[in-house]
Amino acid sequence: MKKIVIASNNPGKLREFQAMLAPLGIDVLTQEQLGISEAEEPHCTFIENALAKARHVSKESGLPSLADDSGICVAALGGAPGVYSARYAGDKPKSDTGNNEKLLRDMQGVADRRAHYYCVLVLVQHAEDPQPLIAEGEWYGEIAQEERGDGGFGYDPLFWLPQLGKMSSELTADEKHVLSHRGKALKILLQRLNMDAG
């Protein structure tokens, strides 16, 4: 597998995938580079959305496709924002700032701050692949009272890591690749492909 198309237009996700896959000699393309539209994400589970995105991009490109569906799940909110993490605030275009502001409002006065990031990766060799490779990763922390740090993207400025005493947004890119839900899921996926992510 020399070429793979990432089924995402999220620049933060694309940077992470390119950094993690580059050492393996895989040519990482994006759906935007190939003029492929975003797939619909109508499902209520991460795995169904990821599979829909991977099949859509593989069908349009004729190449293997890797799709990620991920988000943050907050215990006190019954798992929300969940699959709606990217569009939690309802802003168009999608806005990290709007999503973070809404999450802070929803968590105002809430004592239970537990949360986790969840990621499912789906790799299809072709659009009709009957055996997609699927890998999952989770990353546990808490929702902070206010934003801090200028790294990462999404909810990273609010994702507090008690064991490290810092926000996700304060980690280096290499630290995040090792610890994050996406990094864990990609490591599992590459092991299933008999590749070593290092």
Both tokens of 118, joined, read 């969840």
Both tokens of 184, joined, read 């864990």
**Gap between the Cα atoms of 159 and 176, Å rounded:** 12
Taking the CB of residue 99, how many other CB atoms lie within 10 A of it? 23
Taking the CB of residue 70, how many other CB atoms lie within 10 A of it? 26
**Gap between the Cα atoms of 17 and 177, Å rounded:** 9
Question: Out of 27, 68, 69, 96, which one is annotated catalytic?
Answer: 69
E strands, 125-165, are: 133-143, 159-161
69 an active-site residue? yes
Query: Is the separation of the CB atoms in 137 and 69 below 8 Å?
Result: no
- Whose tokens are 């701050």? That residue is 113
Active site residue ranges: 69
